[in-house]
Amino acid sequence: GIFKNSHTLLLSWLFCWLRITLVSFLATLPVEQLRAFPSSLSDCQTPTGWNCSGFDDRDTDLFLCDTNTCKYDGECLRIGNMVTCICDFKCNNDYAPVCGSNNQNYQNECFLRRDACKQQSEVLIMSEGACPADAGSGSGDDGEGSAEAGQKETSTCDICQFGAECDVDSEDVWCVCNIDCSHISYNPVCASDGRSYDNPCQVKEASCQKQERIEVNLSLSFSVSRSPYKI
C-alpha cells in the first residue's frame, strides 16, 4: 500500500511539474510572437500582417504570369490582382504594306504582329501589298497600322508632310504614305537628293517616306543614263 501511494504521489508531482514548466515557457514568449503562428491557412487572408510564407509563398495561381498567359510576343505584367499583356513593339514608319489573314491592311509586318499581340489572336501575312478591294474592312485593332485610307479614318496633320497622312491611335502617331508606284511605267529621273529613280512617282514616294523634300531635278533628268548618281 505504501509503494502504491508513493507511485501515485510521484506521478502527481511529475504532472504538476510539467504543467508549471509549460506555463513558464509560454509566459516567456512575447505576445506578438504567439500571434505570429496562424492556426490555419485562412488566417493568412486576414489583414493582421501575419507572415504566412511557411504556408504558401503565392497568393493565388489565378494572378500569376506564366508562359501561356501572353502569346504572340506579348510581355505579361502583374498589377495588383490583375495581369495584363504589354505589346511594346517598336514599329518604324517604313511603308512595306502587307495584307493580314483578317483582311486587314498593315503599314508593315511589325504593325501586323503588334495587332496580333493586342488581340491575343493569330494574324498571318496572306500577301504582300494591300488587300484586294473586295476583301472587306477587316477585324484588326481598329485598322491599326493600316496602309489603306478606307481601313481607318486618317487625315493630314501638321507633323506629316510631303503627301503623308497622319494615323493616330491611343498610343502612337505615325505617318502613312499611301503612294503606290508599282504600276507606273519606267521613266528614269534624277532627284534633288542626288539619286536616280525609275520614275517621278518614286521620287514622291521617297519624299513621303523620309519626310523630307525631294524633287525631280529637271536639269539632269534627260541625261540620267550618263548620270554618276546611283540608287
Complete DSSP assignment for the chain: -HHHHHHHHHHHHHHHHHHHHHHHHHHHS-HHHHHTS-SSGGGGGSTT----TTT-SSS-GGG---TTTS-TT-EEEEETTEEEEE-----------EEETTS-EESSHHHHHHHHHHHTS---EEEESPPPGGG-S--SSTTTT-SSGGGS--B--TT--TT-EEEE-SS-EEEE-----TTSPP--EEBTTS-EESSHHHHHHHHHHHTS---B-HHHHTTGGG-----
Exposed / middle / buried, residue 144 (Cβ in 10 Å: 0-12, 13-18, 19+): buried
Return mean pLDDT, the chain: 69
Of the two residues 153 and 64, the one the predictor is more confident about is 64
The predicted pLDDT at position 229 comes to: 45
Does residue 26 surpass a pLDDT of 50?
A: yes
Does residue 219 surpass a pLDDT of 50?
A: yes
Most confidently modeled range among 33-37, 96-100, 207-211:
96-100
Tens-place pLDDT, residues 86-111: 787 888 888 899 999 999 999 999 99
The predicted pLDDT at position 113 comes to: 92
Tens-place pLDDT, residues 9-19: 777 777 778 77
Percent of the chain with pLDDT over 90: 12
